[in-house]
Amino acid sequence: MAEEIMWTEKYRPRVLDDIVNQEEIVKRLKSFVEQRSMPHCLFAGPPGTGKTTAALCLARELFQDTMDANFMELNASDARGIDVIRTTVKEFARTAPYGGAPFKIIALDEADNMTADAQQALRRTMERYTRTCRFILICNYSSKIIEPIQSRCAIFRFAPLKDEDIAKRLRWIAEQEGIEVTDDAINAILYIAEGDMRRAINTLQAAAALGKVIDAETVYKVTGRARPEEVREMLKMALDGKFLDARAKLRELLIRYGLSGIDIIRQIHREIFNLDLPEAWKVRLADVTGEIDFRISEGAHEEIQLSALLAQFALAGSQIKRGL
């Protein structure tokens, strides 16, 4: 029986040339391989845009069969303390590269989750062992990396993937897997993925588990994510003053569909501009949505924050009705 593995791994590009939509970056990384030399790097960009893949490809092309010995991948979210920097990272960085490799590489994924102390410790390690080891820091927000580290790195900004690039990749994977995907289904996946290739591929794989033909219905069914209409419906209920109904809908989205608060608030943000509202109100509602988005990242309970947002929509609805 054939093995089944996650398609994100099965179809993760092996070589730099296969990386989608980051031509400029790929060109420069390839020149590093050719010259067998590179600076410390900072890869910044949204999730699922190929940052980790680029680091893996770069290391593979540079080291080839000595990759295991010369490349270390660490996830800063899980090992973000200063201890890891002082021990694991330092141990690896200070010893000479194997098999005639010009240097080693440490990829520090989700580096923006490192504490400031750990970043300070890292900065010294980077300087001290530059000859034997290069760092690739990977993050979503470069602003969370302290300046001294930024100044020691070549910064690469990974752009969000374009819908057509993701669509192309999905169609290619479907072909390899011998499955049929309708245009509707592709659009549904794109809506859900929001420029995140990883999520797009995971969604495709989950949908394919249902059968060989995938349409939009299948996509929504298996992902169990909110359909756009349901978020819209929830907002309409709130605007109509049916707050309790809207809140019940919200809970359904959170519990039954397992959506995260961040997922929901992003969908709310997009739906605002599809709603039949006075234009000026759309901007005001976008503003309160942004505020709640911020509070979710600061707060403890998504459900409470989103309920508060729905209460703002209910208020907006009543004021619009009264012509305010």
Partner 1 sequence: MEKNEAPWTIKHAPKRIDELVNKDAVLKLLNFIKTWKPGGKVALIYGPPGTGKTISVYVIARELGYEVVEMNASDVRDAKSIMRIAGSAAMQMSLFGKKGKIILIDEVDGVSAREDRGGLKAIIDVIKSTQAPVVLTANDAWDPKLSSLRSVCELIEYKKVRETEIIRILKAICAKEGITVSPEILKMIAKNAEGDLRSAINDLEAIARGKKTITKEDLMLLAKRDREQNIFEVLRMIFASQSARRAIIAAGMADVDYEMLLQWINENIPHHMEDPLELANAYDALSRADVYLGRIHREQNWKLLSYAMDLMTAGVALARTRSRFKFVKYNFPSLIKEMSKTKEEREILNSIGEKIKRRCHVSVKRAITEYLPYIVIINRVNPSIGEKLLKWFDFNKNEIEYIKKASRV
Cα distance between residue 248 and residue 83, in whole Å: 46
- Applying CB under 8 A, the span of 36-44, 63-71, 165-173, 237-245 interacting with partner 1 comes to 237-245
Of 9 and 23, nearer to partner 1 (C-beta) is: 9
CB of 103 closer than 8 Å to CB of 97: yes
Size of the site for partner 1 (CB under 8 A): 57
49 lies in the binding site for partner 1 (CB under 8 A): no
199 lies in the binding site for partner 1 (CB under 8 A): yes
Of 24 and 78, nearer to partner 1 (C-beta) is: 78
222 lies in the binding site for partner 1 (CB under 8 A): yes
In the complex, the smallest distance separating the C-beta of residue 4 from partner 1, rounded to whole angstroms, is 4
Other C-beta atoms within 10 Å of 152: how many? 17
Binders of partner 1 in range 6-25 (CB under 8 A): 6, 8-9
295 lies in the binding site for partner 1 (CB under 8 A): yes
Stated as kind and residue range, the H or E segment containing 78 is none
Cα distance between residue 72 and residue 135, in whole Å: 10
Going from the C-alpha of 159 to that of each of 24, 47, 163, 170, 197, the distances in angstroms are 11, 10, 12, 19, 12
In the complex, the smallest distance separating the C-beta of residue 85 from partner 1, rounded to whole angstroms, is 16
81 lies in the binding site for partner 1 (CB under 8 A): no
CB of 166 closer than 8 Å to CB of 193: yes
Going from the C-alpha of 147 to that of each of 138, 150, 239, 245, the distances in angstroms are 15, 5, 45, 48
Of 6 and 146, nearer to partner 1 (C-beta) is: 6
318 lies in the binding site for partner 1 (CB under 8 A): yes
CB of 142 closer than 8 Å to CB of 119: no
Cα distance between residue 51 and residue 46, in whole Å: 9
- Applying CB under 8 A, the span of 18-26, 61-69, 178-186, 220-228 interacting with partner 1 comes to 220-228
Other C-beta atoms within 10 Å of 163: how many? 17
Hunting for tokens 């000859």 — which residue is that?
131
265 lies in the binding site for partner 1 (CB under 8 A): no
324 lies in the binding site for partner 1 (CB under 8 A): no
Among 22, 203, 267, 289, binds partner 1 (CB under 8 A): 203
Sequence length of the chain is: 324
- Applying CB under 8 A, the span of 35-43, 95-103, 118-126, 199-207 interacting with partner 1 comes to 199-207
Among 25, 41, 109, 261, binds partner 1 (CB under 8 A): 109
Going from the C-alpha of 112 to that of each of 8, 22, 142, the distances in angstroms are 23, 21, 7
Pick left, alpha or beta for residue 160 (phi over 0 → left; psi -120 to 50 → alpha; otherwise beta).
beta
213 lies in the binding site for partner 1 (CB under 8 A): no
Residues at the contact surface with partner 1, assessed by CB under 8 A: 1-6, 8-9, 47, 52, 56, 73, 75-78, 109-110, 113, 198-199, 202-203, 205-206, 209-210, 222-224, 241, 243-244, 247, 251, 254-255, 258, 260, 292, 295, 298-301, 303-305, 307-308, 311-312, 314-315, 317-319
